[in-house]
Amino acid sequence: MLRQLWIVLLIAVTGAAACTPPIVAPASSPADDTTLRATSAVLPPGFDVQGHRGARGLQPENTLPAFETALDLGVSTLELDLHLTADGEVVIWHDEALTRDKCGLSTMAAPPLPPDPDDRAVAGDALYLSRLTFADLQRYRCDRNPDPSRFPDQRATLTTLAGDNYQIVRLADLFAFVERYAGSDAKSTAH
């Protein structure tokens, strides 16, 4: 089943890349001119450009805005990590548990609240994705930069299609997003 999901994701990403015209000029990052787009002018034909956890150097990792930014930059593969929630949902997240350096409770979260990563009294095992339901995960906002010295250009900014959705999403949500992205004329301007 998981292998089939990976195959579908690969097909969806390939389809999105095929629907996007090639980018032919270098782009600037918000802070400087060190970021290059994936271009046919720079890379050999067939080169697999991967968006590691989306565009984690520019957007908080493994979020829809990070994946949208990666697609805007012309990646051919979205690299991601998967976990199962307590209620059996396949979600996209790198770490086995939520941490305060990446996520906090949303200000919109209503009681009863799940464990708060910012509360140092909360035991780490309470924040394991495998112990939280998908509904619990929807109460977190994962828009923090865990390492500003390593990712100085990472910002939680609005994107055209994903907006400011910095929640942990299901794999199925990413499939639907990539399909929507591929069919949209309203893509973000690449960074």
The whole-number mean pLDDT for each consecutive block of 10 residues of the chain, a chain of 191 residues, reads: 49 47 41 46 86 97 98 96 98 97 94 94 93 98 98 97 97 98 82 53
Q: Output the pLDDT for position 124.
A: 79
CA distances from 88 to 117, 135, 168 (A): 22, 12, 14
Q: Output the pLDDT for position 18.
A: 47
Domain boundaries, the chain: 2-81+170-182
